[in-house]
């Protein structure tokens, strides 16, 4: 086994092929106080507890036509997650907001995604938080290839996941430990459907792998599930705020039977806005077509990006 010096190390790092490097636009590491645009330098130390213990939190948000959507809502949720697990970021929150805007600007693109990570810090490989003297902060700007328009025109499929929803204690924290979500998504794909739905111990609907779900019930009422075992999504909250000016909605538990007889099942999330589920467990939802509420929610969210996105 060769022992190499730091110069050889950097030379080899830069020469390595990196899967997905064409999607990385810019990367910020707060320890360095700078942004790099070479994806082969997007490195996180192995002893950052963010990596080997999942001891950290994150947010993902999009920018469209040079405007970051729901920036302050995402930052508020990031702050809540961070405070819940007792991590104070290495930059004050107003500075962190400015860093995000700067990274978006350095990306050189008008459309893409931003991911913000706050970790416990470097210093060891145990579960002891005392190993970490300083928290870490990383911001990544990346491309997000647009999904085909026919996805919204035809709708998507979903199936019930065998993996349960997260416990109440962890459901409201957007932590980097997304293993249950990853396994849910894997299971759905192997079953031949696009999205998984998970349920809580009360047998009521919780969420998707990275999306919230609302329905229009058989009476035409827009229904939001109780969020006892789900992360409350910024897109869902904003979408409900917007459409609430046009129609009423209620919050109540949603059973699997409610999904089967619903007029619409709608997934909501940063990357999809609002998307109709037209088949669930290989059975049709209503007339197997995207419904009017789903379509209206998407229009309202797309308009809102242009009206209220934060320009950089």
Contacts of residue 122, Cβ cutoff 8 Å, sequence gap at least 6: 45, 47, 48, 49, 132, 134, 136
The predicted-structure confidence for 275-284, as pLDDT tens digits, reads as follows: 999 999 999 9
Given a contact cutoff of 8 angstroms between Cβ atoms, the answer to whether 225 and 271 are in contact is no
Best CATH choice for the domain 6-142 from the list 2.60.120.200, 3.30.420.40, 3.40.1180.10, 3.30.470.10: 3.30.470.10
What pLDDT is recorded for position 145?
Answer: 87
Question: pLDDT (tens digit, 9 = 90+) per residue, 28-87?
Answer: 999 999 999 999 999 999 999 999 999 999 999 999 999 999 999 999 999 999 999 999
**pLDDT > 70 fraction of the chain, expressed in percent and rounded:** 100
| This prediction's pTM | 0.95
Residues with Cβ within 8 Å of residue 239, at least 6 apart in sequence: 268, 273, 274, 297, 300, 301
Interval 109-121: pLDDT, tens: 999 999 999 999 9
User: Helices 292-308 and 234-243: crossing angle, nearest 10°?
Assistant: 100
pLDDT digits (tens, 9 = 90+) for 131-171: 999 999 999 999 998 899 999 999 999 999 999 999 999 99
Q: Where are the domains of the chain?
A: 6-142, 150-306
- Give the contacts of 49 (CB within 8 A, at least 6 positions apart): 55, 56, 119, 120, 121, 122, 123, 129, 131, 132
Domain 150-306 has CATH 3.20.10.10: yes
């Amino acid at each position: 086994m060769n022992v190499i010096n730091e110069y050889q190390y950097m030379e080899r790092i830069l020469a390595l092929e990196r899967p997905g490097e064409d999607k990385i636009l810019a990367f910020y590491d707060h320890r360095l106080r700078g942004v790099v645009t070479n994806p082969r330098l997007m490195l996180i130390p192995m002893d950052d507890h963010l990596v080997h213990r999942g001891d950290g939190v994150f947010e993902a948000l999009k920018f469209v036509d040079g405007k970051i959507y729901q920036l302050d809502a995402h930052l508020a949720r990031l702050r809540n997650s961070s405070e819940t697990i007792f991590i104070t970021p290495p930059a004050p929150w107003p500075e962190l907001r400015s860093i995000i805007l700067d990274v978006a600007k350095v990306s050189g693109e008008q459309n893409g995604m931003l991911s913000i990570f706050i970790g416990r810090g470097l210093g060891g490989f145990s579960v002891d938080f005392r190993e970490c003297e300083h928290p870490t902060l990383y911001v990544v700007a990346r491309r997000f290839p647009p999904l085909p328009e026919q996805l919204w025109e035809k709708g998507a499929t979903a199936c019930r996941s065998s993996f349960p929803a997260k416990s109440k204690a962890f459901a409201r924290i957007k932590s980097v430990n997304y293993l249950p979500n990853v396994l849910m998504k894997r299971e759905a794909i192997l079953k031949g459907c696009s999205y998984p739905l998970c349920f809580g111990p009360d047998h009521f609907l919780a969420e998707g792998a990275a999306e919230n779900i609302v329905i229009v019930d058989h009476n035409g009422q827009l229904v939001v599930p109780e969020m006892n075992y789900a992360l409350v999504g910024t897109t869902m909250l904003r979408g409900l705020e917007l459409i609430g000016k046009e129609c009423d909605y209620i919050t109540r538990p949603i059973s699997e039977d409610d999904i089967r007889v619903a007029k619409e099942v709608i997934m909501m999330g940063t990357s999809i806005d609002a998307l109709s589920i037209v088949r669930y467990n290989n059975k049709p939802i209503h007339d197997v077509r995207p419904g009017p509420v789903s379509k209206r929610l998407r229009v309202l969210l797309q308009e809102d990006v242009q009206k209220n996105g934060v320009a950089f």
